[in-house]
Amino acid sequence: MPMKKVLKGNEAAAWAAKLAKPKVIAAFPITPSTLVPEKISEFVANGELDAEFIKVESEHSAISACVGAAAAGVRTFTATASQGLALMHEILFIAAGMRLPIVMAIGNRALSAPINIWNDWQDTISERDTGWIQFYAENNQEALDLILIAFKVAEDERVLLPAMTGFDAFILTHTVEPVEIPDQELVDEFLGEYKPKHAYLDPKRPITQGTLAFPAHYMEARYKVWEAMENAREVIKEVFEEFERKFGRRYQMVEEYRTDDAEIIMITMGSLAGTLKDFVDRKREEGVKVGAAKITVYRPFPIEEIRALAKKAKVLAILEKDVSFGSGGAVFADVARSLINEKEKPMILDFIIGLGGRDVTFKQLDEALSIAKKVIKEGVEKDIYWIGLREEIL
Amino acid sequence: MVSSQEVRKVEVPENVKKRLSIPFEENFFAGHTACQGCGASLGLRYVLKAYGKKTILAIPACCSTIIAGPWPYSAINANLFHTAFETTGAVISGIEAALKARGYRVKGEDGIMVVGWAGDGGTADIGLQALSGFLERGHDAVYIMYDNEAYMNTGIQRSSSTPYGAWTTNTPGGKRHFVEKTHKKKVIDIVIAHKIPYAATASIAFPEDFIRKLKKAQKMPGPSFIQLFAPCPTGWRAPTDKSIEIARLAVQTAYFPLFEYENGRYRINMPSTKKEPKPIEEFLKLQGRFKYMTKDDIQKLQEWVLKEWEELKKKAEVFG
């Protein structure tokens, strides 16, 4: 029988790793993710997880050691956030390019400067082009589930790409919630043993990995990563279905909430989706035709699902905790990209919100909603808004 | 001239093979893309002779990335893992951990050899942190720094291992006598500060000594480190047929003495023990990179070499 435990998001992630039975874990402490490897080292110390735990001297070495271990043919796991993930940046491309299905838990945190340890998504969003699959969890249960799902998708032979699962700093990493821990036997059945055919430094069968590729060959290798990420769309859906059959919890690329008949659909990711659903309930009571949508999988971006969603509404209002300076929010750009060649498309607004751990309140969401209402009548004058700025200290 | 492929075809009786101090086995093949007279490629050949094809090599972005050959070719008959410039120490840590998790014997006489093969830049500069982590954690692997005393792959820029007075493309001499102004970093002293079981210097001019040290590193548990002196005729502005001679003179002048650090004990090896050091000019004069050195510069380098040599002798005397 699955057991229920009251767990912090970080603990839920550590439990997911334990259930997945990685053979090598390499990690370095960073707020807010420190507890993930800490908890895993307890599992290893108590003999509950049979794995080599490498206590590296930086995140750069954490991911490098994972790359080495994955290339030597074992399931590997690590966790980090923010500056740590930024330090890994260079190696993230290598992990994807070498098709190593490493899984990483991220406590989504803002980037310096100024120094800030609280939540936004700038860390993972900034790694969107590295070739890693990206999941965003709404709560601690999702953090656990989406790590197990990440392993299954990453290791699928049609995919073979690394994957990261993000869950919001402090809002989830340090907040306790009841979490259902699946049975080990069911997880074993779900994941199976990792037996790579492609990346395996086998002493009996010498191969070269990560070699120099001239212009005559490089582009094809990059295309194969593109193709794998495209394949991941179907694989993720299959895995979501299998997960639901086995564990009873349903996941979708994009989860819609009260979107039928909605004029305005507010789109977000991560824990903000929980706040947003409550907000939508409140507004529905007031008779406002508003719905919500949560993007669970950000890479590959759910293009088809966004197209279907767009058919339902007059305005798509994106609420996102990241920014690409000189352009706008990253999710906004992806949503716009999904709709650009559609004949009929809604107006799209982008709301940069909750950076560096600023609480997202109903008041802020109301502000975004009223702008969305306004454009239905008046059209779009401006498409990027910063919500909740304290004008008095600007 | 006999090519290495032809050499492999030569029939050598097994009993003779066994007695060879340098293994007959060849796992580094002709067709590699090293420059003429490349010391590093010779060193890599010896490594693969010593450890055989049961080796897993990790090579960061460096000359050896190119030397091994681009996709789909490889001059190396062993597992080869190319990695980012600063990550050799971390990557061999990961490979070692994974092999152990898979139940393999790693290091030791019949174990799989996990070998980091990195240049001086990738070791003494950008890779120093990962190296330190690898040494400190005590992984069962061998790290070999092939020391050609500058960033050769990017086109001869100085590293912390470049000697005083040397020309490189970013210490170009010029009117302001802008040559390398600091002495060679003693990376091996940093390595020894980790108190690992085994560290040694070696030279391509003394292959038997190098092979012996590789074999010893194989037997020793935990991390081992070898700093291999590997001349680069291209970067040192030296004739391509003088690499061995230059490497030999580096030892004979005590510029690069051969020694071992084994479980806390220092031992100076032949031929560094033999005679008084030759004057440093003998090492310098074969190389165009030292042409900007003034008499004072040479004097300064000479004094430094002898001071370091005395210090090493003292260590061998006290901790021998």
Q: What is the pLDDT of residues B237-279, one digit of tens each?
A: 999 999 999 999 999 999 999 999 999 999 999 888 777 999 9
Residue A259 shares a structural domain with residue A240: no
Looking at residues A73-85, what average pLDDT do you find? Answer: 98
What is the structure's pLDDT at A351?
98
In this prediction, residue B3 carries a pLDDT of 55
Q: What is the mean pLDDT of residues B95-107?
A: 96
Beta bridge partners of A205: A202
Contact list in B for residue A208 (CB cut-off 8 A) is 68, 71, 74, 76, 79-82
Mark whether A129 and A64 lie in a shared domain.
yes
User: Which of A57, A94, A201 is opposite residue B79, by nearest beta carbon?
Assistant: A201
pLDDT digits (tens, 9 = 90+) for A270-299: 999 999 999 999 999 999 999 999 999 999
Nearest residue in A to B63, CA atom? A212
Using a CB-CB cut-off of 8 Å, the residues of chain A touching B223 are none
In this prediction, residues B144-157 reach a mean pLDDT of 97
How far is the C-alpha of B140 from the C-alpha of B47, rounded, in Å? 17
Tell me, yes or no, whether A291 and A225 share the same domain. Answer: no
Residue A58: its pLDDT value, please?
A: 98
For residue A180, pLDDT beyond 70: yes
User: Which residues in chain A touch residue B79, judged by CB atoms under 8 angstroms apart?
Assistant: 201-203, 206-208
Asked if A182 and A42 sit in the same domain, the reply is yes
- pLDDT given for residue A316 in this prediction: 98
Tens digits of residue pLDDT in A216-263:
999 999 999 999 999 999 999 999 999 999 999 999 999 999 999 999
* B97 to A65: CB separation less than 8 angstroms, yes or no: yes
Judged by CB atoms closer than 8 Å, whether chains meet at B91 and A214 is answered as no
> B89 lies in which domain range?
27-318
Higher-confidence position of B12 and B25: B25
pLDDT confidence bin for B14, thresholds 50/70/90: confident
For residue A380, pLDDT beyond 90: yes
What CA–CA distance (Å, rounded) separates A377 from A359?
30
Q: Are B68 and A31 in contact (CB under 8 A)?
A: no
CB contacts, 8 Å: B103 with chain A: none
Residues A350, A369: Cα–Cα separation, whole Å: 11
- CA gap B270, B212 in Å, rounded: 12
Token readout for B68 is: 């091994």
CATH number, domain with residue A225? 3.40.50.970
Asked if the Cβ–Cβ distance from B101 to A26 is below 8 Å, we say: no
- Residue contact A23–B82, C-beta within 8 A: no
Number of A/B CB contacts below 8 angstroms equals 155
What pLDDT shows up at residue A205?
87
Q: Work out how many domains chain A is built from and give that number.
A: 2
Q: According to the model, what pLDDT value does residue B4 have?
A: 54
pLDDT of residue B1: 46
- Segment B127-146 mean pLDDT: 98
Check whether A353 has a pLDDT greater than 70: yes
Taking the model in full, what pTM does it have? 0.96
Give the one of A64, A72, A213 whose C-beta lies nearest to B98's C-beta. Answer: A72
Residues of A in contact with B129 (CB under 8 A): 57-58, 61
Q: Is A167 helix (H, G, I), strand (E, B) or coil?
A: strand
Q: Tell whether A324 and A222 lie within a shared domain.
A: no
Map residue A35 onto helix, strand or coil. Answer: helix
At B16 the pLDDT is 86
Are A197 and A307 in the same domain? no
Mean of the per-residue pLDDT values for chain A? 97
Name the residue among B54, B82, B97 with its Cβ closest to that of A52. Answer: B97
pLDDT recorded at residue B17:
83
User: 3-class secondary structure for chain B?
Assistant: CCCHHHHHHCCCCHHHHHHCCCCCCCCECCCCCCCCCCHHHHHHHHHHHHHHHHEEEEEECCHHHHHCCCCCCCCECCEEEEECCCCHHHHHHHHHHHHHHCCCCECCCCCEEEEEEEEHHHHHHCCHHHHHHHHHHCCCCEEEEEECCCECCCCCECCCCCCCCCCECCECECCCCECCCCCCCCHHHHHHCCCCCEEEEEECCCHHHHHHHHHHHHHCCCCEEEEEECCCHHHHCCCCCCHHHHHHHHHHCCCCCCEEEECCEEEECCCCCCCCCCCCHHHHCCCHHHCCCCHHHHHHHHHHHHHHHHHHHHHHHHCC
A144 lies in the same domain as A21: yes
Domain extent at residue A111: 3-247
**Cα–Cα distance for residue pair A142/A119, rounded to 1 Å:** 17
Given A217, A247, A277, the domain boundary residue is A247
Choosing from A247, A274, A294, the residue where a domain stops is A247
How sure is the predictor about B13, in pLDDT bands with cuts at 50, 70 and 90?
A: confident
What's the whole-number mean pLDDT along residues B78-82?
96
Work out the minimum CA distance from A134 to partner chain B, whole angstroms. 23
Report residue B5's pLDDT band, with 50, 70 and 90 as the boundaries: low
What SS3 class is residue A87? helix
Q: What is the pLDDT of residue B272?
A: 82
Q: Is the pLDDT score of A1 beyond 80?
A: no
Q: Does A69 sit within 8 Å of B82, measured CB to CB? A: no
Is residue A124 packed enough to be buried (19+ CB in 10 Å), middle (13-18) or exposed (0-12)? buried
B195-237: pLDDT as tens digits: 999 999 999 999 999 999 999 999 999 999 999 999 999 999 9
Looking at A247, A279, A299, the residue that finishes a domain is A247
Residue B22 belongs to a domain: no
CATH number at residue A267: 3.40.50.920
The CATH code of the domain that includes B284 is 3.40.50.970
Q: Are A41 and A132 members of one domain?
A: yes
B19 within domain boundaries: no
Q: Do B133 and A71 touch (CB under 8 A)?
A: no
Residue range A174-203: mean pLDDT, rounded:
94
- A69–B94 C-beta distance less than 8 A: yes
Same domain, A50 and A160: yes
Label residue A199 by pLDDT band (50, 70, 90). Answer: confident
At A370 the three-state DSSP class reads helix
Q: What is the pLDDT of residue B11?
A: 81
pLDDT digits (tens, 9 = 90+) for A301-345: 999 999 999 999 999 999 999 999 999 999 999 999 999 999 999
Q: State the sign of the Cα–Cα–Cα–Cα dihedral A332, A338, A342, A345.
A: negative
Asked whether residue B72 is assigned to any structural domain, the reply reads: yes
Q: What is the ipTM of this complex?
A: 0.95
**Residues from B in contact with A at Cβ < 8 Å:** 53-54, 56, 58, 65-66, 68-72, 74, 76-84, 86-87, 89-95, 97-102, 104, 112, 129-130, 132-133, 136-137
Q: Which amino acid, residue B126?
A: I
In this structure, the answer to whether residues A308 and A372 fall within a common structural domain is yes
Task: Give me the number of domains chain B comprises.
Answer: 1
- Which pLDDT belongs to residue A200? 84
- Each residue of B272-315: pLDDT tens digit? 877 799 999 999 999 999 999 999 999 999 999 999 999 999 99
